Each structure stands twice: as structure tokens, then as C-alpha cells.
A and B are shown apart, each in its own frame.
Chain A
């Protein structure tokens, strides 16, 4: 088993991935956003089709309004007064929030298939790394660290992983991003919301990890 990369190699690697992605695709990298769209692929597919069909702006605006109502609930008054991003993409040229998307081609989010490809290629990249470093072996537990710190009982392990996964899925979507979207892309752009989110999720993870290590 080879050792992990030194910190500077990891930092350069993560930075290169994020910078390249941002420059080439003109979009910021976000794994949880990709998950969100892939998980809701039926609805997203429908939106994509509608998007292709509507050539005139009015029809598109109406469709987006309907989608927004579906997204935020049917109570129209509950929609925030200053929606950003998806809610008002038509005002892209005047709205600073949408200045990220200057050209017509990148007005829409990356196609669904692209995001599914992102998740699959993360798997493949991880697999290549694990095999080439000699770290790959199939196992039915989460390793000695998990066994010592969390639980050695397989049933409890499944429950903990499931609950943890639900918290991760729910939390990242509620906060609007994860460690790649808020942590790398967002903090890299010095977005206040990302810095707050990163500080809070990292701080919470530190507190819970100390509890697991010292107390439980």
C-alpha cells in the first residue's frame, strides 16, 4: 500500500481540476448540483425538452415560471422578491447574478447527460487511482478507522451510513453546495455565501469528529 500524496501535490491537483473546469466549460464545478439534477432526471429531462422546443422568449418565461412554482411550491407569494439564478435567467444581461453566463450557449446549465458523465467519470478516476496505487480491494466494511471510531457492528454501520448519506444529500442541497461547489469553486471566487457555508460545514464536521474520537 503506497502512501497518500503530500499536501502540496493534493492542493495543486485539486486547484488544477477546479481552474481547468471553470475555464474550459465556463461553469463552476459542483458535485452536489450534478447529483441533484441526475437524481431528478425525469423532471430535468422534461425541462430540457421544453427548453429546446421554446424558441420564443415569452413561452420560455412562462415555462420557467411554472417550473419555479413547482420548485418552490405553488404559493407564488412565497417566491423570494429577488430571485437569482434559475428564476430569472432571461434578465441575464442586466442581472449581476447571471453575469456568469454571458453567451447564449451557456445560458442553460450543463446538459443532464454531462452531469451523469461527471459522476461516472469520478468513479472511473477513483477506480484508476485505487488500482494503480495498490489500494483497491473489495471489502464489506468501511475500514479500521470507521470500525474503531464509529461502530464495528455491521447493522449499525449500515444505519449510520444511510443516515449520514441522507444528511449529506439534504444538507448540501439546502445549503446550495458541497465541498466542491462551495468549498473549492465558491471560496475560490470569494463568494460570501460559500465562505460562510464552508466555515459552518467544516466547523460542524470538526465538532462531530471530536465527539466520535474522544467521547463516543
Chain B
């Protein structure tokens, strides 16, 4: 049932829908993002929070398996760095992709930064941190 082809197709549909939805919510718009983070406009915040509430309810109803995760030493520092990066560049890992897709060419620089950061993290973890960071899925 879950063959490689089926998973590929499902993932492509997910990607298309995610890109479409996130762009139409306005996550690629830096001004909107700053208005969300400074609570001047709760629209995008409610989109995110509302989605989480719907997902919690749906997963509970459908009895989707819980995936336990350890709170390791990298979670809080990593989240602080990510939050800072998101606020100044306007990009969580999917956002610069849709920014470029919306015509914001400088977001290519953000993507380059994300790639450098990811490589740097794997390198630094192997060399210094030795954390089992787990993964958010896939």
C-alpha cells in the first residue's frame, strides 16, 4: 500500500498544498510576519494556533500514535537561535522557498544561509555536541 511511488506522490501533494497555503496565509510577507510576532495582527497567529488545535483534535479522534521525544540539551538553544533567525530574516526553513517563488529574489541568500547552517550543525554536532537530536519526522 505505502509503496515508494505512493509516498512520493503524497509528499508532492503535501508540498504543493503547503506552499500554496503558507503563501496565501502570508507567511512569506515580512511585514505580516513582524505584525504577527508583535501581536499587532493576530490573523496569522490564529491560523497557526488554530491549525494546531484542529490537528490535536483530529489526531486524538483518529488515535494517531504519539511519538515520544526526549527534551535534549539542544532543544532550547536551538529554538532560541531559530526564533532569532526567523524574526530577522523572515524565514523558517520552508518560507524562503515560497519567498523566492513569490518573486523575492534576495530570499535566495536566506536559503544559502539555511544550507550553510544545516551543514554547520551536523559538523558541529559530530565534533563537539554529540547530541542525539532526533528528528521532527520523515
Contact = CB atoms under 8 A, between A and B. Distances in A.
B15 A161 contact: no
- Interface of A (DSSP majority class): helix
B63 to A, nearest CB: 11
Interface in A105-152: 105-106, 109-111, 113-115, 117-130, 133, 135-146, 148-150
Nearest to A16: B17
Interface in A148-186: 148-150, 157-158, 160-186
Interface residues of A, number: 146
A126 B78 contact: no
Interface residues on B, range: 35 or more
A194 B13 CA distance: 25
A181 B55 CA distance: 13
Interface string B111-130: 11111111111101111111
A124 to B, nearest CB: 6
Contact of A210 (B3, B38, B52, B110): B38
Nearest to A34: B138
Contacts of B79: 171, 175, 182, 196-198, 200-201, 204
Given A18-B55, A165-B114, 11 more contacts: A10-B47, A30-B138, A39-B118, A72-B132, A111-B7, A162-B109, A162-B116, A170-B124, A174-B74, A174-B75, A205-B87
21 contacts: A17-B14, A20-B10, A28-B138, A33-B135, A70-B126, A79-B130, A80-B72, A80-B132, A121-B14, A123-B101, A126-B102, A158-B109, A165-B115, A168-B110, A169-B115, A170-B81, A172-B78, A180-B94, A183-B52, A190-B66, A209-B38
